[in-house]
Structure 1
Amino acid sequence: MHAWPASEVPALPGKGRDLQIHDTATQGKITLDPGPVARIYVCGITPYDATHIGHAATYNAFDLVQRVWLDTKRQVHYVQNVTDVDDPLLERALRDGHDWTELAERETALFREDMTALRILPPQQYIGAVEAIPGIVPLVERLRDAGAAYELDGDIYFSVESDPHFGGVSHLDAEAMRLLSAERGGDPDRPGKKNPLDPMLWMAARPGEPSWDGASLGPGRPGWHIECVAIALDHLGMGFDIQGGGSDLAFPHHEMGASHAQVLTGEFPMAKAYVHAGMVALNGEKMSKSKGNLVFVSALRRAGVDPAAIRLALLSHHYREDWEWTDAVLAEAEARLARWRAAVSRPDGIPADALVEEVRAALADDLDAPAALAAVDRWVDAQNAADGDDTTAPGLVSRTVDALMGVAL
Structure 2
Amino acid sequence: MKMSFKVYNTLTDRIEKIEPIKDNIFRIYSCGPTVYNVPHIGNFRSFLFFDLIKRYLSFLGYEVTHVMNITDVDDKIILRCNEENHDLKDLTSHYAKMFIDDSKKLGIEIPDHLPYATDHIPEMIDLIKLLIEKKYAYKTNNGSVFFNINSFGDYGKLSKINMNQLESTKRVSDDDYDKKTPQDFALWKAWKFEDGDIFWNSPWGNGRPGWHIECSAMSIKYLGNEFDIHCGGVDLQFPHHENEIAQSICSTGKKFARTWLHCEHLLVNGAKMSKSLGNFYTLGDLFSKGYSAKAIRYLLTSSHYRQKIDLTDKNLKGAEKTVRRLQEFNRRLLNISKGNIGSIKKTESSILDQFTVSMNNDLNVAEGLAVIFDWVRSINRKLDSDQILVNDAANSLALLHKFDSILCFLDKGELEITPEESSLIREREIARKNKNWSRSDEIRELFRKKGIDLIDTPSGTILKNL
Report the TM-score, using the length of structure 1 for normalisation: 0.89
Against the structure 1 CA distance between its residues 67 and 53, is the aligned structure 2 distance closer, same or farther, given a 3 Å change threshold?
Answer: same
Q: Which segment is superposed worse, 71-80 or 301-310?
A: 301-310
**Residue type matched to 2:394 in 1?**
T
- In the alignment, the residues of structure 2 paired with residue 375 and residue 363 of structure 1 have an alpha-carbon distance, to the nearest angstrom, of 10
Alignment coverage as a number of residue pairs: 391
Counterpart residue number, 1:382 = 378
Counterpart residue number, 1:36 = 24
**Residue type matched to 1:72 in 2?**
L
- In the alignment, the residues of structure 2 paired with residue 139 and residue 31 of structure 1 have an alpha-carbon distance, to the nearest angstrom, of 32
Against the structure 1 CA distance between its residues 177 and 405, is the aligned structure 2 distance closer, same or farther, given a 3 Å change threshold?
Answer: farther
**Residue type matched to 1:341 in 2?**
Q
Unpaired runs of 5+ residues, structure 2, are 338-344, 412-466
Shift of 1:383: 2.1
Counterpart residue number, 1:10 = none
| Counterpart secondary structure, 1:253 | helix
Shift of 1:55: 1.4
Shift of 1:50: 3.5
Against the structure 1 CA distance between its residues 288 and 18, is the aligned structure 2 distance closer, same or farther, given a 3 Å change threshold?
Answer: farther
Please show how residues 164-313 of structure 1 align to structure 2 within 5 Å: 164-174=153-163, 177-178=166-167, 181-182=169-170, 185-187=171-173, 193-209=179-195, 210-267=197-254, 269-287=255-273, 293-313=279-299
- In the alignment, the residues of structure 1 paired with residue 77 and residue 180 of structure 2 have an alpha-carbon distance, to the nearest angstrom, of 28
Against the structure 1 CA distance between its residues 225 and 288, is the aligned structure 2 distance closer, same or farther, given a 3 Å change threshold?
Answer: farther
Q: Which segment is superposed worse, 189-198 or 361-370?
A: 189-198
Shift of 1:192: 5.2
Shift of 1:98: 4.0
Counterpart residue number, 1:82 = 70
| Counterpart secondary structure, 1:333 | helix
Whether contact under 8 Å (1:37, 1:74) holds in the other structure is yes
Against the structure 1 CA distance between its residues 221 and 188, is the aligned structure 2 distance closer, same or farther, given a 3 Å change threshold?
Answer: closer
1:396 to 395, 398, 408: 398
Counterpart residue number, 1:122 = 110
Shift of 1:140: 0.9
- In the alignment, the residues of structure 2 paired with residue 38 and residue 308 of structure 1 have an alpha-carbon distance, to the nearest angstrom, of 27
1:55 to 24, 43, 49: 43
Counterpart residue number, 1:9 = none
- In the alignment, the residues of structure 1 paired with residue 27 and residue 277 of structure 2 have an alpha-carbon distance, to the nearest angstrom, of 34
| Counterpart secondary structure, 1:318 | coil
- In the alignment, the residues of structure 2 paired with residue 296 and residue 72 of structure 1 have an alpha-carbon distance, to the nearest angstrom, of 33
Counterpart residue number, 1:4 = none
Shift of 1:216: 1.0
**Residue type matched to 1:65 in 2?**
I
- In the alignment, the residues of structure 1 paired with residue 152 and residue 178 of structure 2 have an alpha-carbon distance, to the nearest angstrom, of 20
Whether contact under 8 Å (1:344, 1:397) holds in the other structure is no
**Residue type matched to 1:379 in 2?**
W
Counterpart residue number, 2:451 = none
- In the alignment, the residues of structure 2 paired with residue 191 and residue 62 of structure 1 have an alpha-carbon distance, to the nearest angstrom, of 34
Report the TM-score, using the length of structure 2 for normalisation: 0.78
Shift of 1:155: 1.0
Shift of 1:74: 1.9
Against the structure 1 CA distance between its residues 100 and 212, is the aligned structure 2 distance closer, same or farther, given a 3 Å change threshold?
Answer: closer
- In the alignment, the residues of structure 2 paired with residue 289 and residue 36 of structure 1 have an alpha-carbon distance, to the nearest angstrom, of 44
Whether contact under 8 Å (2:177, 2:189) holds in the other structure is no
Shift of 1:270: 1.3
Shift of 1:408: 2.6
Whether contact under 8 Å (1:204, 1:218) holds in the other structure is yes
Whether contact under 8 Å (2:329, 2:376) holds in the other structure is yes
| Counterpart secondary structure, 1:125 | coil
Q: Which segment is superposed worse, 348-357 or 153-162?
A: 348-357
Q: Which has the higher helix share?
A: 2
Against the structure 1 CA distance between its residues 41 and 203, is the aligned structure 2 distance closer, same or farther, given a 3 Å change threshold?
Answer: same
What percent identity do the matched residue pairs reach? 30
| Counterpart secondary structure, 1:25 | coil
